[in-house]
Structure 1
């Protein structure tokens, strides 16, 4: 199987999993230095130099982290600027370089799996309609508009313009999510951004491969497009589901944190490679496997300590990969080339921003007809947060060697990535705060503290019960420790009940004053926060009801007429709930 030699789509064919029977001639998608720019000769001395460079990069990343925290600027934007600043200081012969195969086969699976692992399926399901709108028709519209404008502005042929149009339609959420963590953005907005990115990546990869097929063969039938699109998406989902459920079974057999980490790493990388081998979407396979492990792994499959270790490892893995990839993006950019292509970069920047604006504002305005409306402030955030990153860079580096103006196209994309990460990245925190997207005040913080106290106390009580039943704790010690936790549970439940029921707290009444007298205007804020929090819980319950109805219909317990009527009622109730 001569995958890398005979494919006209090269490495990208493997990623997007189009059948290789359509490939007949090489185009040299892999560059001479695949992973590291390490000379063949020199042996131990060259290895020592590469290790020295790695140590320097780690120290630079640490310094950037400290400085960005002090200056309150996004860490990722700081990494790109640091890489740009030190690019001339590192020796050219031993410099670590970005390569499409490195990003596709290592970095991308880790980032996708980490994102999917931390995505709540119930929230993803509740936001699936706007996500599908943005990642389906949205990316087609954005790529089409961007391609047309690139052809008009830069005089590119249709194939290069279309390839760059798809590349610039991809969104990278790493920096956006980092900003959201600082300002406590609403959960639905976070899910919308994460969900769009998860689906957007795969659709863009398929489109990119189809355009490359047109470039090679000169033709492409609509039937072939539909067949291949469905084949790679559905096939990738099946591969990911199989590996995800297999991992759940293996995790249940051995409750060991280190073994769980090794298994999930193997699943993340293996799902991608399995997708390549079977000519289906490796991206979809990784995402589906991550969703399954992240959402079903909690259900009494592993212990709490294993879960904490596992999720901590993947948080670190995602952080480490993002650190290296964005630092290397800065190293990859040549200042002289960037300066020469700056006018073209500026025009391309305008083109994809116009495409994004026409995609976000009109499309999301239609959401109110079939789902909860997307606030205008959120649409502003989605527009400004249209940041390019690792996947756009990888696709640019994987452009065919024979493509007219390839080096110029790569320079334009890298310039866009730099402008996007630095310009939009530095302005995004200010925009988010200015738009007052983060409506979580001290009232929200107080409620979440009470929820945290209640959840942790109940979890500790459950663990105590297990320890007592297994004979580890004597009854006297068990009762004393459980009573201490029960005091915390009772206090949290009483306060939360008062907030949710919108009535004064008993503690204030016992002191001879009402809660409104004690808190003044903050009472209204607290009650508003309580209502919104309670709406979030009610939304989860309504989604659970919808899931039960769907399952009953599938098992033919209830008739379709009854289920449809009930689901319609539940949808109306969901639409009336406030966004959290």
Structure 2
């Protein structure tokens, strides 16, 4: 593909992604599911057919997504949920892969190596969709941490198992002791690579006083950790996860200015969003509907198999977790089971299956169809299911807050319309004043109630998590509005540079503090 055609394709994809973002918000459907559908629809609009490239996803997209998740993960919260996460990403992935493989071999008659490869591929969970749901439907922070922590290490364990199965295929044999040794060597080696690069980059961050150089450093760490680990034949995903956790915990400390931290976190949030947008669009472009239709029975069996594997790994293992850690509520376990959505890494691994594997094309068709139906089925239904579970009940205080907000928004909108009618001459001033006064009474009552809620201490016992989250969002918008006004003043040179910079620094500190609470 020449440069001109590539740019045309990128422009089309960016416009489609923008349109999907607007439409999905309007229709209240998951963004990633909308992207997949859009990818299916625009295949004929592109000047040249493009599709997923396993090397591109594994070497570029995957490190970016993993590092973005790791740098935003609070290692203190992760440590508090380490035991259930370890059960899910260790025994959980192995158990789920094995059960799925057995069912596929039994129902579809696949060779054992092929069945094991598909089992591992379908044990990978794409947590982008689940986290997107959590942004729409509030869930307890501990549940969110478990989901994020599982996704951080799930990919690394699955990739190691995938490599071990290919090694068995190539050599013809692998003892349990050898397999366990290779598994531990790859995981420990990846951890050491991540620790080395993470500590080195954290030291450089303290000396950095420029946000753009810090961004370049983190990009180098994310991509470099993966490539270095690959050269050393250890886990690249584990290396990127460990390096990202260290950069987020040790690198972005109080010794680094708030402006640099905010710029850096905003960059990685944008990078993760862009990469995910391209990946899910490409998933839609890659799927051939005719091939999907022909392989539909096998795809449905594969979906049944991986759901059974997930069911028999999540509930028993989390039942065991109560013996060593705080119990995981049953409703949380439902979310972990229902959030078993497949994504881009599963498709990338399917494409990387060697041509020497029997029935490779059939395996790829099964995985692609499974990913597509998973995104469109579970991805669309998950927000509704999470709401039905009522993980964070709608408190009386939150109900009062939203009722006051609704009253204020509606009354102010009516006043704005009255102002417009007066200016256009449609409404007499006497009638205008009478009607506006009536709405002003509602505005004043709503503002008084909201002021009382806002004036409460954040530690007040009668404030729910949902209320606090909503108030924090409002405060964040106000701080960003202040920052935007000062930035415009600075750009026009209306005030002293030093004065504006000090005020911007103070606002950045408030924003970071608000994000940490």
Q: TM-score, normalised by structure 2?
A: 0.78
CA distance in 1, matches of 2:387, 2:98: 32
What is residue 82 of structure 1 aligned with on the other side? 38
What is residue 162 of structure 1 aligned with on the other side? 116
Q: 1:137 Cα deviation (Å)?
A: 0.7
1:110 partnered with 2:64: yes
Q: 1:90 Cα deviation (Å)?
A: 2.4
Picking from 126, 142, 149, the partner of 1:195 is: 149
CA distance in 2, matches of 1:315, 1:299: 19
Go from structure 1 to structure 2 and tell me whether the alpha carbon gap of 1:75 and 1:529 turns closer, same or farther (over 3 Å shift): closer
CA distance in 1, matches of 2:135, 2:326: 24
1:236 partnered with 2:190: yes
After superposition, where does 1:46-445 map in structure 2 within 5 Å?
46-91=2-47, 94-439=48-393, 441=395, 443=397
For the residue of structure 2 that corresponds to 1:302, the secondary structure is coil
CA distance in 2, matches of 1:198, 1:433: 25
CA contact (8 A) 2:203 2:251 kept: no
Q: 1:494 Cα deviation (Å)?
A: 8.5
CA distance in 2, matches of 1:389, 1:50: 24
Q: Structure 1, residues 471-492: CA drift from partner, whole Å, max 9, x if none?
A: xxxxxxxxxxxxxxxxxxxx99
CA contact (8 A) 1:110 1:317 kept: yes
Q: Which runs of 4+ in 1 moved over 6 A?
A: 444-447, 491-494
Q: 1:445 Cα deviation (Å)?
A: 10
CA distance in 2, matches of 1:255, 1:498: 35
CA distance in 2, matches of 1:528, 1:368: 26
CA distance in 1, matches of 2:140, 2:30: 19
- Between 1:161-170 and 1:79-88, the stretch displaced more is 79-88
C-alpha RMSD of matched pairs (Å):
2.3
- Between 1:181-190 and 1:434-443, the stretch displaced more is 434-443
CA distance in 2, matches of 1:237, 1:371: 25
CA distance in 2, matches of 1:362, 1:438: 24
Q: 1:250 Cα deviation (Å)?
A: 1.0
Go from structure 1 to structure 2 and tell me whether the alpha carbon gap of 1:235 and 1:60 turns closer, same or farther (over 3 Å shift): same
Go from structure 1 to structure 2 and tell me whether the alpha carbon gap of 1:240 and 1:443 turns closer, same or farther (over 3 Å shift): farther
Go from structure 1 to structure 2 and tell me whether the alpha carbon gap of 1:227 and 1:446 turns closer, same or farther (over 3 Å shift): farther
CA distance in 2, matches of 1:101, 1:53: 20
Q: Which has the higher helix share?
A: 2
CA distance in 2, matches of 1:129, 1:494: 39
For the residue of structure 1 that corresponds to 2:44, the secondary structure is coil
CA distance in 2, matches of 1:215, 1:141: 20
Go from structure 1 to structure 2 and tell me whether the alpha carbon gap of 1:123 and 1:498 turns closer, same or farther (over 3 Å shift): closer
CA distance in 1, matches of 2:167, 2:399: 53
Q: 1:300 Cα deviation (Å)?
A: 2.2
CA contact (8 A) 1:141 1:355 kept: yes
Q: 1:200 Cα deviation (Å)?
A: 1.1
Q: Structure 1, residues 198-254: CA drift from partner, whole Å, max 9, x if none?
A: 111111111111111111111002221122111111111111111111111111112
Q: 1:297 Cα deviation (Å)?
A: 2.6
CA distance in 1, matches of 2:129, 2:341: 8
For the residue of structure 1 that corresponds to 2:319, the secondary structure is helix
CA distance in 1, matches of 2:364, 2:292: 10
Go from structure 1 to structure 2 and tell me whether the alpha carbon gap of 1:445 and 1:290 turns closer, same or farther (over 3 Å shift): farther
CA distance in 2, matches of 1:347, 1:231: 35
5+ long unaligned stretches in structure 1: 1-37, 39-45, 448-490, 501-525, 534-579
CA distance in 2, matches of 1:391, 1:175: 13
CA distance in 1, matches of 2:459, 2:70: 36
5+ long unaligned stretches in structure 2: 402-451, 470-516
Give the aligned length.
Answer: 420
CA contact (8 A) 1:184 1:440 kept: no
For the residue of structure 2 that corresponds to 1:73, the secondary structure is coil
CA contact (8 A) 1:53 1:95 kept: no
CA contact (8 A) 1:344 1:412 kept: yes
For the residue of structure 1 that corresponds to 2:354, the secondary structure is coil
